[in-house]
Each structure stands twice: as C-alpha cells, then as structure tokens.
C-alpha cells in the first residue's frame, strides 16, 4: 500500500554535486531524509519500472537512511532496487554498478572523508545513469523542490534484512541485495594484470593499505589479500565501522600521518596507501617517497600503458586547474591533450563520456579514469601496483626518473580554514581588481607572465563556468592560485596553491616548503591575506 505523507519544506537544504551534507542529527529529524529523497525523485523523469542502485559508506545512520530510501523508491515506481549487502557500496563501486546494470541512477549515502558517528556528518547524493554525480541542472531542481515539497510517497512495510544476499519484493518493486565487492573486483581484474601483481607479492613485495575503518576494507581485503596474495595484515582497519573507529577517514598527511611515518621508518614496506570514508580518494607513499596527488596523476598517465586496460594508450588527460602542471608535460610527450577544468570531479564526466580523456585527477587526492564516473581510490592503488609489477623498480626510483625526464613540479596547498567570509571575499575581490596590474610585475627573479580569473568552456556541452579561481602565472612555469573552497561548512576556507617548475635534476631534492618559500611570500604580498583575514599561517599544509 503506497502511503502519501504530508510534509513541509525544511530550510537550508542545499545539495551540491557532492550531495547534501549535514550533521547526523539534522538527517535524523522527522521527514528530513524523506523530504530530500522525494525532492530527488520529483526532479527526475521516466524512471517507472527502472533500476535504482543504493548503498553507502557504512557510516552511522547508513542503514536507517537506506530503509527509508528503499520504501520510497518502491513507492515512487522504481521497478528494481539493487543494494549493497549491509548497505555498503563504495562511491566508485556504486558508480560501476549503475553503469554495469544500466540503472536509471543511484543514491549514495556518504559524507566522503568527513568524520562519522552520532555527532558526525552524513550525506545523500544522487548519481545519474552514466554513474557520475548529478549535473547542476538536476541538483538545482532538487534544491528548488525541497523548498516547495508538501508530500512524499512511501510504503507501510517492515525493515528489510540488508545482510541477506538475495531478492525480495517490496511493494511493486524487487529488491536485490548484492555482494558490494563482486562487480567492482571483476572490473579491476579486467583493467589490471592480476597475475603480474600476484607474482610481485609472491616475490616478497610488502604493502600496507589503511582502509581507515571505512568502506574500502572489504574491497581491499578481497582484492589485495585474497585475489592478489598480499600477506594477511596488509589491509589495516579493514572493517567498516559506523564511527570509523573515531578517526577522521581522510587519507591526508594529517590524518594518515602514521602511514607517512611508517613509510619513512626502517621497517617501511614497499608501498603504503590509504583511501577515504567512501573510497574515492587515495594516498600513495613509497618507501621513503611521498607521491603528491599531482605527481601521481602524471606518473599514472605516463605509465598507464603497462596495465592491460590502458595498453592501447590514453585518449587524453584531464586535471583540475589547481592541480600541478606535471600531467601537462606527460600529455605533451604522449601527444594528447591535457584538459584543465574547474575544481570538482563533475567537470571530468563530459570529457570521459565523449572519449576525450581517459585519466583524470585532482590535487586533492582524487584520481580516476573512464572505467567509472567517480574518482577511485583503490583503482589508483591497483594501477600503481600494476606499474610496480611491470617495472620492478621502487616507487622512489620511478618518481625520481619521472622528475629527471619531465622536470619536477614542486607543489603545495596552503589552507586557511574557518576564515571570516567577509575578509575572504574582500581578498578575492581585491585580487580580481588587481589582475590587470600583475603581468610584467617582478618579484625578485620571478616575473608575472599572465594573471586571470580561471574560466572554463566545456568542449562537450558548450557550457561556461566563470570565476573559478585566480591564477598568477610566472615566466618559467611557476604559479600561484587563489580560490575559496566550495565544500567548507564553517566560514570560508581560503586555498592557496603554490607551484614551482624545476627542470634541473640536481635541484630535485629540496624540501617543497623551502623550494616554494619565495612564492609563498609573494602569495601573501599579492593577496594581502594577513590584512584581509588576520591569518599569518595556514591551518593545513598539504
Ligand atoms: C575539495 C577539493 C576538490 C574536490 C572536492 C570534493 O573542494 O579541493 O578537488 O573535488 O573537495 O571532494 P573545495 O573544498 O576545494 O571546493
Ligand atoms: Zn570521498
């Protein structure tokens, strides 16, 4: 029996393409999840009888939210709902399942790398039939709908057992509970040379993969330990916990510092890696060699042909604007285009769909390819393993050789978090005003070659995105980028990205903060950061 429940709009529901993210208690308020989910369904057309994929990163409230989504999806007319067992699906695995099943779309429950638990974060995101995040046209419609919604449709049925693999019926729909790993692992086996990686592990290669008590545990255990023969214990924190064990499931150098320490210790394994809450980000550190995400993108693109899935070469590379230019140098050598897009994974979707780019990445630890339409943490780690298995050199040697061949793009991002919005906005406004005065200006031996506010013209759908960040480009390839975060929750987050290109291999051994010191000072001078924000030091340096 379909029930129509009267409801009223709830304030403040603004979904981005990474979905709606709020504190758990907000989602627990009566009708809140239902209002948002109905607003999604009300913004879609033509899904009667179609397939919907549902799953999440296992965080607190995941199971409760999934029960609500299942009843509503059935009540709204979906014909088949496919759910990961236990309510688990990593974001890239959900993307794959949507594509593999030719589903109409999917609902992913996640707040990515944000902490979980009763006081942590929760999120709901809608992905379309290509497996990627809903475009702005849809998220705008959903937002508009949340402001006018007055009813939602659901069923009066008991909770389903999410742990039993199999098919049941729910109202007029069938619900299939599937193993969350099977289809994803099969895709990885198609892309990578598992036999070669097995031989690598059998030869004594050692690794630690920290799943951070988040969603990648089951995926990493099945793929690395069971299928590839990595030693038991290779996967750390492999059981998804509702509160991620109280940790912050963000594989950066702050929250995964223990891996960095391990990688530089005398007991360092050959490879250390980690992924975030929902499995789309990655961290890769070789023995004694951290690999920046920007370098990783360039290295993966340069070596992708060593993996069967990319043996025919890559069509192009795409990177977000603030990501370093290391990938551009690889693209040039390969004779393919490197697309420069605004920040955010959604801009890669069109390029991947159109076959213009094969590999894409962001400086914020997201790397991926056309195999799904999300970034993919474990995929990046497996591509690294495939390259290591093929080359039989250390991560450190591979990185060093890469720099010797292409030059090194010293790179760092300085974040100033929870800055008062007025100051941050004034700083950006002043920078925009100053743009015409910058070209030709000399700072020590650095001369500004060009400066602009980054704009992107999508070559596929012709759309334009303006004001995506201030770029100050210096002669010789150095660069400073200023932008405000679009994902922060409190005040504004100022991000300053600093990059210096160093062609000379004799100068590739410097500490990045030292190598960038003069540019960091220039960034402060040009922006008046201290004056506008009262800050003299970044909150986070990556
Ligand atoms: C940040 C990252 C960006 C990433 C996004 C979602 O956005 O910088 O690369 O796509 O999170 O994971 P920002 O806060 O900078 O707007
Ligand atoms: Zn994530």
Question: Which of 4-8, 161-165, 366-370 is least confident?
Answer: 4-8
Number of Cβ within a 10 Å radius of residue 147: 11
Distance CA 10, CA 510 (A): 52
Q: What is the DSSP letter of 227?
A: I
Does pLDDT of 65 surpass 80? yes
Q: Give the ligand with the smallest distance to the CA of 319.
A: 1
- Say if residues 446 and 477 touch (Cβ distance below 8 Å): no
Of the candidates 15, 132, 3, 149, the residue with the CA atom closest to the CA atom of residue 74: 3
Per-residue pLDDT band at 440 (split at 50, 70, 90): very high
Of the candidates 138, 124, 158, 109, the residue with the CA atom closest to the CA atom of residue 47: 138
Q: Ligand 1, from 293, 366, 428, 489: best to mutate by most atoms within 8 Å of Cβ?
A: 366
Q: What is the pLDDT of residues 405-432, one digit of tens each?
A: 999 999 999 999 999 999 999 999 999 9
Q: Does ligand 1 have an atom closer than 6 angstroms to the CB of 343?
A: yes
Q: Which architecture, in CATH terms, is 184-406?
A: 3-Layer(aba) Sandwich (3.40)
Per-residue pLDDT band at 261 (split at 50, 70, 90): very high
How far, CA to CA in Å, does 130 sit from each of 74, 94, 98, 103, 354?
A: 22, 11, 7, 9, 12
Mean pLDDT of 225-250: 96
- Say if residues 73 and 50 touch (Cβ distance below 8 Å): no
pTM: 0.95
Q: Strands across the sheet with 289-290, in order?
A: 235-236, 207-210, 271-275, 282-286, 289-290
pLDDT at 380: 98
Per-residue pLDDT band at 15 (split at 50, 70, 90): low
Report the residue count for the chain. Answer: 542
Does pLDDT of 12 surpass 70? no
- Say if residues 213 and 410 touch (Cβ distance below 8 Å): no
Cα(328) to centroid(ligand 1), Å = 21
How far, CA to CA in Å, does 532 sit from each of 10, 488, 494, 519?
A: 35, 19, 11, 19
Domain extents in the chain: 2-180, 184-406, 408-541
Per-residue pLDDT band at 11 (split at 50, 70, 90): low
Token code pair at residue 447: 């001369």
Bridge-based pairing state of the strands 456-457 and 446-453: unpaired
**Coil/strand/helix, residue 495:** strand
Q: Ligand 1, from 278, 364, 365, 542: best to mutate by most atoms within 8 Å of Cβ?
A: 364
Q: Does ligand 1 have an atom closer than 6 angstroms to the CB of 280?
A: no
Mean pLDDT of 264-285: 97
Cβ-in-10-Å burial (0-12, 13-18, 19+) of 160 comes to: middle
Distance CA 269, CA 288 (A): 10
Q: What atom of ligand 1 comes closest to residue 362's alpha carbon? A: 9
CATH number of 408-541: 3.30.310.50
pLDDT at 16: 66
pLDDT at 13: 61
Q: Does ligand 1 have an atom closer than 6 angstroms to the CB of 485?
A: yes
Which secondary-structure segment (H or E) carries 345? none
Q: Out of 112, 296, 412, 478, pick the active-site residue.
A: 112
pLDDT at 489: 66
Does pLDDT of 41 surpass 70? yes
95 belongs to the catalytic site: no
Of the candidates 259, 284, 255, 296, the residue with the CA atom closest to the CA atom of residue 113: 255
Q: What is the DSSP letter of 458?
A: -
Q: Say whether 408-541 and 2-180 share the same fold.
A: no
Q: What atom of ligand 1 comes closest to residue 486's alpha carbon? A: 16
To the question of domain 2-180 being in CATH 3.40.120.10, the answer is yes
Q: What atom of ligand 1 comes closest to residue 113's alpha carbon? A: 12
User: What is the sign of the dihedral through the CA atoms of 19, 23, 25 and 26?
Assistant: negative
Cα of first residue to Cα of last residue in the chain, in angstroms, is: 53
Q: Does ligand 1 have an atom closer than 6 angstroms to the CB of 417?
A: no
Of the candidates 330, 328, 334, the residue with the CA atom closest to the CA atom of residue 405: 330
Q: What atom of ligand 1 comes closest to residue 493's alpha carbon? A: 14
């Amino acid at each position: 029996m379909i029930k129509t429940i009267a409801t009223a709009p709830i304030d403040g529901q603004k979904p981005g393409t990474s979905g709606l993210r709020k504190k758990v208690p907000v989602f627990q308020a009566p009708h809140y999840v239902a209002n948002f989910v109905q607003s999604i369904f009300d913004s879609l057309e033509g899904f009667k009888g179609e397939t919907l994929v549902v799953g999440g990163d296992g965080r607190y409230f995941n199971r409760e939210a999934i029960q609500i989504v299942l009843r509503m999806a059935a009540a709204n007319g979906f014909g088949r709902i496919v759910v990961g067992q236990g309510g688990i699906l990593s974001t890239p695995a959900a993307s794959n399942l949507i594509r593999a099943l030719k589903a109409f779309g999917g609902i992913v429950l996640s707040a990515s790398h944000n902490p979980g638990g009763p006081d942590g974060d929760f999120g709901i995101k809608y992905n379309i039939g290509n497996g990627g995040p809903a475009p702005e046209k849809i998220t705008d419609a959903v937002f508009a709908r949340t402001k006018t919604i007055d009813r939602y449709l659901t069923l009066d049925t008991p909770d389903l057992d999410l742990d039993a693999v199999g098919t049941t019926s729910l109202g007029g729909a069938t619900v299939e509970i599937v193993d969350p790993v099977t289809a994803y692992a099969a895709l990885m086996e198609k892309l990578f040379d598992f036999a070669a990686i097995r031989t690598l592990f059998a030869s004594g290669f050692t690794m630690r993969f920290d799943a951070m008590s988040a969603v990648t545990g089951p995926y990493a255990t099945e793929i690395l330990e069971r299928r590839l023969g990595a030693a038991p214990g290779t996967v750390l924190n492999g059981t998804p916990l509702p509160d991620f064990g109280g940790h912050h499931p963000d594989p950066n150098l702050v929250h995964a510092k223990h891996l960095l320490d391990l990688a530089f210790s005398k007991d360092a394994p050959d490879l250390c890696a980690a992924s975030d809450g929902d499995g789309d980000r990655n961290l890769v550190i070789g023995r004694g060699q951290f690999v920046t995400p920007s370098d990783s993108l360039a290295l993966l693109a340069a070596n992708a042909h060593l993996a069967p899935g990319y043996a025919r070469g890559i069509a192009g590379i795409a990177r977000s604007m603030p990501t370093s230019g290391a990938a551009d140098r690889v693209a040039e050598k390969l004779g393919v285009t490197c697309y420069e897009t605004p920040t955010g994974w959604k801009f890669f979707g069109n390029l991947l769909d159109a076959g213009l780019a094969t590999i894409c990445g962001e400086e914020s630890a997201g790397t991926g390819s056309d195999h799904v339409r999300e970034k993919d943490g474990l995929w990046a780690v497996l591509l690294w393993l495939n390259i290591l298995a093929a080359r039989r050199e250390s991560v450190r040697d591979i990185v060093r050789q890469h720099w010797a061949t292409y030059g090194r793009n010293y790179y760092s991002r300085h974040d100033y978090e929870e800055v008062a919005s007025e100051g941050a906005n004034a700083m950006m406004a002043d920078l925009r005003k100053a743009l015409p005065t910058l070209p030709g200006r000399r700072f020590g031996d650095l001369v500004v070659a060009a400066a602009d506010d980054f704009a992107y013209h999508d070559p596929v759908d012709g759309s334009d995105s303006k004001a995506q960040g201030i770029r100050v480009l210096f002669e010789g390839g150095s660069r400073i980028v200023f932008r405000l975060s679009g994902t922060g929750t409190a005040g504004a987050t100022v991000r300053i990205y600093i990059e210096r290109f160093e062609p000379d291999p004799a100068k590739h051994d410097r500490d990045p903060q030292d190598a960038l010191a003069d540019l960091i000072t220039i960034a402060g001078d040009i922006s008046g950061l201290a004056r506008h924000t009262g800050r003299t030091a970044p909150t986070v340096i990556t």
